[in-house]
């Protein structure tokens, strides 16, 4: 297990990065032409309300102070009020976040189940017909945009065959699984293509490695060689990749939530953009950044647990 | 006697030999053919499209694929095949413009950061971390939200995010090349830093960048069409594959060809770029690395 | 007990390993035969590409890429060639063990050293967890790792190069094999460490009564460590015999060339001798003697007719049509120096 000092060091490393993230989000709305207060206010705001907003954002103060106000507000959970939905941004986001997280996890699981065994199959018969077939199919998958896959699945499996609902989230865990399988599959198909490519290359490299030879020369059973030596070593680089693809995955969930009308934060982001709801846009961008950072941190931890060479910082 | 410092830059004869090897690979040939077709369609849509993409034909609304209309017609009677062909112009432009500036800017910054290192490198590292902490699409959409929808704004938004990947790649390559002897020889000979970077190091570092550019163009098409579908990229009535798919969204059961056909164009073109990219990656890989 | 009376444990007869299409095979090991006695150290010498590593892998059946192994490999009377994977697995590690050239890449970087020893024991013995741990400590002690008890939980990258090689030996010997196949175990190590490892192998062979086949390209290593030596070229045997005889009185032109390449008492600025040319590629081997192209005394029949191993004196064999000319040629060279 990685040591506590390693974890602390990693957490500390995030801080300067996150500072930059905050600066960027802060500047995002400030870049709009015109008065930020108007941008952050409802269409028919009174002068008094505008003054209130100006005070909250510290707009009468110099820019660096404004930034500090922004940071303080964020850390205390005050992300402003949504113009469109007339409720605190934090509340709105927290209500829909679980749905998106659920969808993302679902997609990852599907992607791994799809790519894992097939990568194994392809790697153990390198350059044979099976390998070429698998690679070709997934190559095509890589060229299909998520929204297109979603629409095809929607049309064929939901609208036409009626095996699955056309959209929404459902109530209760099993119902959720049923509603979300098509959107999760759309994202998973793309992600699995990326995972397969990397995992296959990893496996090929590992299957060829000297220590696998040595393990065989020791007379270990095939099962032990595969799990303890081949798989574990191939996983190390794949875990990194999974972490890096999370950004991709989040982008995918955004699109797929739109196609399948899933009430998550991705779809909310789009609605916010069309409604010019800047407080909400700001809050959502921050949310995504936090999600991705958490995932990066987790993959780092898992990686250093898997690979002892990484534990020395 | 003068000492001539030769850095290992390819010569013209080698390019010809390289092309010879390239065309032996089926993946390269297929990809190249697809790209050639795509470029032809993008440059001369009028020559290939049987109908005017904007012409309404209210007598032929939402007809399925037929000899007269191989891809069917849409809800205004417009020929889908022609619209898909005319969209090549927009989408191929997207592939190019969404990537080329990111490549140029990223390459330059990456080269300087990789060569000089030091505090510029540290700042650069933090910037990269900050940018990749956002999901790509989310960041692009957020920027488009501020700038407003439209093609040019989309290029700006994508470039603003994409440059880091080119910069990171270039930095790694330059750092590797810098360690080579010919770079040291250049310094000893008194060449200026800029000369060393641009005339010697960069040309040798460029292959992985070109390979990445190919796959990036495939990704740019996916991204651009996604934005078009969402209404944030190309705006209707412009013909762009994502926009076309969005137009067919309400008729998925009744006129499925409206959405399906443009999607095939996306997949095909994306495949073209990634096949060429993969083949180049194999061909350009230095021996024994 | 002298060499002649010790029993033969390994008897390789007409071993042939080939790759590629059956119609046009690449023959990496061509009609190789030799014996190894209990507790004996046999050196297998040759340049890279001579087929010596593949010979070792063929014995254990771990040839890569998929190669076809023919002939007979009699281990304690049992032929290993027709055995299936399951039966071979019981031989590997348990009766015949193998160590490789690169200790860093041959040890799994993600697993502790203790675990890598332990899994060998788990596969081949009935020892329980505690007993395995005790035996692991014993093994690390035996190969000379200081503070063995504390090092069970360490990972390969926490050991130095020489120590890693020792660890690899410890892992290989865990289940008390009677034959150790050592594929260039010292090539990747510093010269000072090389010596230590060779001493260790010798000591283990003596103390455990274990036979060793030591593959190397370095005649010096052979001279120091091996009781007998077999010289290979192009997948075929050139010469075999007791080390002292082969080194002191070589007969095959290739062996002579190898030995003459070691500079001994030469005057300063004398050009060093090396065998001209390069080892042949597997698909360009002549029908006759493989060494023909580089042989200083090759005759017309050498290209077409394969010389077979003929006994000269007791325990010695040479495969050459022109043994006498070779001797004369190289003696003249030496006299000239």
Tell me, what's the pLDDT at B269? Answer: 94
Chain A CB contacts of C123 below 8 Å: 218-221, 224
Question: Would residue B59 count as lying in a domain?
Answer: no
The CA distance from B271 to B265, in Å, is 10
The CA distance from A294 to A101, in Å, is 12
**Domain that includes residue B83, residue range:** 19-51+70-283
Check if the beta carbon of residue C107 is closer than 8 Å to that of residue C188.
Answer: no
- Helix pair A278-306, A4-30: axis angle to 10 deg: 160
Tell me, what's the pLDDT at A8? Answer: 82
Per-residue model confidence as pLDDT tens digits over C165-221? 999 999 998 888 999 999 998 888 888 888 899 999 999 999 988 999 999 988 888
Q: Name which of C235, C242, B145, B161 is nearest A270 in CA terms.
A: B145
Put simply, whether A29 touches B (Cβ < 8 Å) is yes
Q: Do C62 and A213 touch (CB under 8 A)?
A: yes
Per-residue model confidence as pLDDT tens digits over C24-71? 888 888 889 999 999 999 999 988 878 888 999 999 888 876 788 889
pLDDT tens sequence for chain A (313 residues): 566 777 788 788 788 888 888 888 888 777 776 666 776 776 677 777 777 777 776 677 777 887 888 888 888 888 777 877 888 888 889 999 999 999 999 999 999 999 989 998 888 888 888 888 998 899 888 889 999 999 988 888 887 777 777 777 777 778 888 888 889 999 999 889 988 988 888 888 888 888 998 998 888 888 888 888 888 888 887 888 888 788 888 889 999 999 988 889 999 998 888 888 888 888 898 899 888 888 888 888 888 888 888 776 4
* Lookup: tokens for C68: 């076809």
Question: Would residue B61 count as lying in a domain?
Answer: no
Q: Do B230 and A32 touch (CB under 8 A)?
A: no
Tell me, what's the pLDDT at C200? Answer: 92
Q: Name which of A278, A131, A293 is nearest A197 in CA terms.
A: A131
Tell me, what's the pLDDT at B217? Answer: 93
pLDDT over 90 percentage in chain C: 26
Nearest to A218 among C64, C85, C120 (CB): C120
Q: Residue B99 sits in a domain of what CATH number? A: 1.10.3720.10
Per-residue model confidence as pLDDT tens digits over B136-149? 888 888 888 888 88
Q: Do C110 and A215 touch (CB under 8 A)?
A: no
Check if the beta carbon of residue C74 is closer than 8 Å to that of residue C13.
Answer: yes
What are the residues facing C75 on neighbouring strands?
A: C10, C78
- Is the previous residue joined to B237 through a cis bond, with omega within 30 degrees of 0? yes
Tell me, what's the pLDDT at B288? Answer: 40
Q: Which residue of A has its CA nearest to C116?
A: A215
Taking 3-state DSSP, the helix, strand and coil percentages for chain B, each rounded to the nearest 5, stand at 75, 0, 25
Touching subunits for chain A (3+ Cβ pairs under 8 A):
B, C
Tell me, what's the pLDDT at A313? Answer: 45
Chain C CB contacts of A210 below 8 Å: 100, 102, 105-106
Check if the beta carbon of residue A246 is closer than 8 Å to that of residue A292.
Answer: yes
Tell me, what's the pLDDT at B12? Answer: 60
First to last CA, chain A: 14
How many residues can be counted in chain C? 337
DSSP C242-291: EHHHHHHS--SHHHHHHHHTS--SPPTTPPPP--SS-PPPGGG--SS-TT
- Give the β-pairing of C179-183 and C211-216: parallel
Q: Which residues of A96-106 are buried (b: 16+ CB within 10 A; e: fewer)?
A: bbebbebbbeb
Per-residue model confidence as pLDDT tens digits over C118-173? 999 988 888 888 999 999 999 999 898 998 888 899 999 899 888 999 999 999 98
Answer positive or negative: Cα dihedral of C245, C248, C253, C255. positive
Q: Which helix (H) or strand (E) holds C36?
A: strand C26-37
Tell me, what's the pLDDT at B208? Answer: 87
Tell me, what's the pLDDT at C1? Answer: 46
Tell me, what's the pLDDT at B3? Answer: 43
Answer positive or negative: Cα dihedral of A58, A63, A64, A68. positive
Alpha helix segments (H runs only) across chain A:
4-30, 36-40, 47-57, 63-75, 89-124, 129-142, 146-153, 173-207, 210-217, 222-224, 232-259, 265-274, 278-306
| Structural domains of chain B, count | 1
Put simply, whether A20 touches B (Cβ < 8 Å) is yes
Best mutation target among A34, A133, A194, A251 (most B Cβ atoms within 10 Å) is A251
Q: Is B112 helix (H, G, I), strand (E, B) or coil?
A: helix
Best mutation target among C106, C115, C175 (most A Cβ atoms within 10 Å) is C106
To the nearest whole Å, the CA of A129 is away from the closest chain C CA by 17
To the nearest whole Å, the CA of A271 is away from the closest chain B CA by 10
Q: Do C155 and A309 touch (CB under 8 A)?
A: yes
C-alpha A308, offset from chain centre: 27
Question: Would residue B43 count as lying in a domain?
Answer: yes
Tell me, what's the pLDDT at C336? Answer: 67
What are the residues facing C230 on neighbouring strands?
A: C44, C240
The CA distance from C252 to C229, in Å, is 13
Tell me, what's the pLDDT at B24? Answer: 80
Q: In what order do the strands lie in the sheet with C8-19?
A: C26-37, C8-19, C68-75, C78-79
DSSP B43-106: H-HHHH-SS-TT---GGGTTPPS-SSSTT-B-TTS-BHHHHHHHHHHHHHHHHHHHHHHHHHHH
Chain A CB contacts of B164 below 8 Å: none
Question: Would residue B2 count as lying in a domain?
Answer: no
Q: What domains appear along chain C, each with residue ranges and CATH number? A: 3-95+177-336 (3.40.50.300), 107-176 (no CATH)
Chain A CB contacts of B275 below 8 Å: 139
* Lookup: tokens for C112: 């502790």
Q: Which residues of C291-327 are buried (b: 16+ CB within 10 A; e: fewer)?
A: bbbbbebbeeebeeeebebeeeeeebbbbbbbbebbb
The CA distance from A251 to A92, in Å, is 20
Question: Would residue B11 count as lying in a domain?
Answer: no
CA distances to A6, C112, C151 from A2, in Å = 6, 15, 19
The CA distance from C241 to C251, in Å, is 11
What are the residues facing C10 on neighbouring strands?
A: C36, C75
Q: Which residue of B has its CA nearest to A197?
A: B278
Q: Do A218 and C172 touch (CB under 8 A)?
A: yes
Nearest to A288 among B134, B218, B225 (CB): B134
Q: Is C331 helix (H, G, I), strand (E, B) or coil?
A: helix
- Helix pair B136-147, A278-306: axis angle to 10 deg: 160
Per-residue model confidence as pLDDT tens digits over C80-129? 888 888 888 888 888 999 999 888 888 998 899 999 999 999 888 888 88
The CA distance from A189 to A115, in Å, is 9
Q: Is A90 helix (H, G, I), strand (E, B) or coil?
A: helix
The count of other CB atoms within 10 Å of the CB of residue B182 is 15
Nearest to A233 among C64, C108, C120 (CB): C108
To the nearest whole Å, the CA of A227 is away from the closest chain B CA by 29
Put simply, whether A12 touches B (Cβ < 8 Å) is no
Low pLDDT (below 50) residues in chain B: 1-7, 288-289
Question: Would residue B183 count as lying in a domain?
Answer: yes
Q: Do C110 and A224 touch (CB under 8 A)?
A: no
């Amino acid at each position: 297990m990685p040591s506590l000092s390693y974890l602390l060091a990693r957490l500390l490393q995030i801080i300067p990065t996150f500072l930059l993230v905050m600066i960027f989000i802060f500047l995002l709305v400030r870049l709009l032409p015109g008065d930020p207060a108007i941008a952050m206010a409802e269409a028919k705001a009174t002068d008094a309300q505008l003054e209130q907003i100006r005070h909250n954002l510290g707009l009468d103060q110099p820019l660096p102070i404004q930034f500090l106000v922004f940071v303080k507000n964020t850390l205390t959970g005050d992300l402003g009020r949504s113009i469109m939905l007339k409720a605190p941004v934090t509340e709105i986001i927290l209500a829909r976040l679980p749905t998106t997280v659920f969808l993302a996890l679902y997609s990852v699981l599907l992607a791994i189940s799809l790519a894992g065994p097939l990568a194994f199959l392809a790697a153990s018969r390198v350059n044979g017909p099976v390998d070429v077939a698998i690679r070709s199919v997934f190559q095509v998958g890589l060229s299909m945009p998520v929204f297109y896959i979603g629409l095809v699945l929607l049309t064929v499996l939901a609208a036409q065959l009626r095996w699955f609902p056309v959209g929404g989230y459902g109530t209760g865990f099993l119902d959720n699984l049923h509603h979300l399988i098509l959107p999760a599959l759309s994202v998973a198909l793309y992600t699995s293509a990326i995972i397969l490519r990397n995992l296959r290359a990893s496996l090929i490299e590992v299957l060829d490695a000297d220590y696998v030879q040595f393990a065989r020369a020791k007379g270990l059973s095939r099962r032990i060689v595969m799990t303890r030596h081949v798989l574990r070593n191939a996983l190390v680089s794949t875990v990194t990749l999974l972490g890096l693809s999370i950004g991709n995955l989040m982008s995918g969930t955004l699109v797929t939530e739109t196609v399948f009308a899933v009430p998550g934060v991705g779809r909310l982001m789009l609605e916010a953009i069309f409604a010019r709801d800047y407080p909400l846009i700001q809050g959502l961008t921050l949310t995504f950044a936090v999600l991705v950072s958490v995932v990066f941190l987790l993959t780092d931890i898992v990686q250093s647990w898997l690979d002892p060479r990484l534990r020395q910082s | 006697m003068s000492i001539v410092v030769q850095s290992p830059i390819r010569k013209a004869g080698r390019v010809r030999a390289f092309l010879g090897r390239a065309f032996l690979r089926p993946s390269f040939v297929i990809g190249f053919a697809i790209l050639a077709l795509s470029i032809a369609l993008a440059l001369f849509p009028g020559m290939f499209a049987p109908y005017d993409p904007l012409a309404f034909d209210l007598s032929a609304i939402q007809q399925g694929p037929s000899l007269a209309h191989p891809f069917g017609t849409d809800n205004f009677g417009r020929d889908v095949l022609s619209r898909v062909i005319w969209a090549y112009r927009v989408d191929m432009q997207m592939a190019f413009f969404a990537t080329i500036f990111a490549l140029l800017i990223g390459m330059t910054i990456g080269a300087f950061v990789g060569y000089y290192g030091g505090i510029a490198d540290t700042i650069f590292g933090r910037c990269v971390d900050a940018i990749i902490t956002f999901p790509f699409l989310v960041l692009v959409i957020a920027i488009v939200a501020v700038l407003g929808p439209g093609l040019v704004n989309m290029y700006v938004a994508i470039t603003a995010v994409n440059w880091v990947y080119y910069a990171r790649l270039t930095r790694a390559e330059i750092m590797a090349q810098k360690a080579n002897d010919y770079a040291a020889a250049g310094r000893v000979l008194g060449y200026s830093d800029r000369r060393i970077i641009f005339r010697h190091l960069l040309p040798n570092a460029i292959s992985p960048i070109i390979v990445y550019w190919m796959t990036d163009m495939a990704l740019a098409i996916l991204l651009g069409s996604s934005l078009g579908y969402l209404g944030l990229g190309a705006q209707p009535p412009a013909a762009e594959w994502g926009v076309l798919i969005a137009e067919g969204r309400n008729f998925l059961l009744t006129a499925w060809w409206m959405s399906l056909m443009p999607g095939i164009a996306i997949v095909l073109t994306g495949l073209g770029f990634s096949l060429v990219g993969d083949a180049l990656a194999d061909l350009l890989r230095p021996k024994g690395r | 007990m002298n060499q002649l009376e010790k029993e033969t444990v390994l008897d390789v007869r007409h071993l042939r390993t080939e790759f590629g299409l059956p119609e046009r095979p690449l023959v990496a090991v061509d009609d190789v035969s030799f014996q190894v006695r209990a507790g004996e150290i046999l050196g297998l010498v040759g340049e890279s590409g001579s087929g010596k590593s593949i010979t070792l892998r063929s014995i254990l059946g771990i040839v890569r890429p998929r190669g076809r192994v023919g002939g007979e490999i009699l281990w304690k009377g049992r032929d290993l060639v027709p055995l299936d994977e399951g039966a071979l697995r019981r031989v590997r590690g348990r009766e015949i063990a193998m160590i490789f050239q690169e200790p860093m890449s041959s040890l799994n970087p993600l697993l502790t050293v203790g675990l890598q020893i332990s899994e060998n024991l788990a596969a081949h013995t009935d020892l329980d967890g505690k007993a395995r741990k005790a035996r692991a400590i014993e093994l690390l002690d035996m190969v000379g790792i200081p503070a063995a008890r504390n090092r069970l939980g360490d990972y390969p990258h926490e050991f130095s190069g020489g120590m890693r090689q020792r660890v690899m030996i410890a892992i290989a010997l865990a289940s008390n094999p009677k034959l150790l196949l050592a594929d260039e175990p010292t090539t990747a190590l510093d010269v000072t460490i090389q010596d230590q490892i060779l001493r260790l192998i010798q000591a283990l062979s003596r103390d455990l009564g274990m036979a060793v086949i030591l593959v190397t390209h370095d005649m010096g290593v052979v001279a120091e460590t091996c009781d007998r030596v077999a010289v290979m070229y192009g997948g075929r045997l050139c010469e075999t015999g007791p080390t002292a005889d082969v080194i002191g009185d070589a007969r095959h032109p290739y062996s002579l060339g190898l030995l003459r390449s070691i500079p001994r008492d030469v005057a300063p600025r004398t050009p060093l001798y090396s065998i001209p040319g390069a080892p042949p590629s597997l698909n360009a081997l002549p029908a006759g003697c493989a060494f023909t192209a580089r042989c200083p005394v090759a005759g017309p029949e050498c290209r077409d007719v394969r010389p077979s191993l003929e006994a000269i004196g007791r325990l010695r064999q040479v495969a050459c049509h022109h043994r006498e000319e070779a001797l004369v040629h190289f003696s003249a060279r030496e006299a000239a120096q």
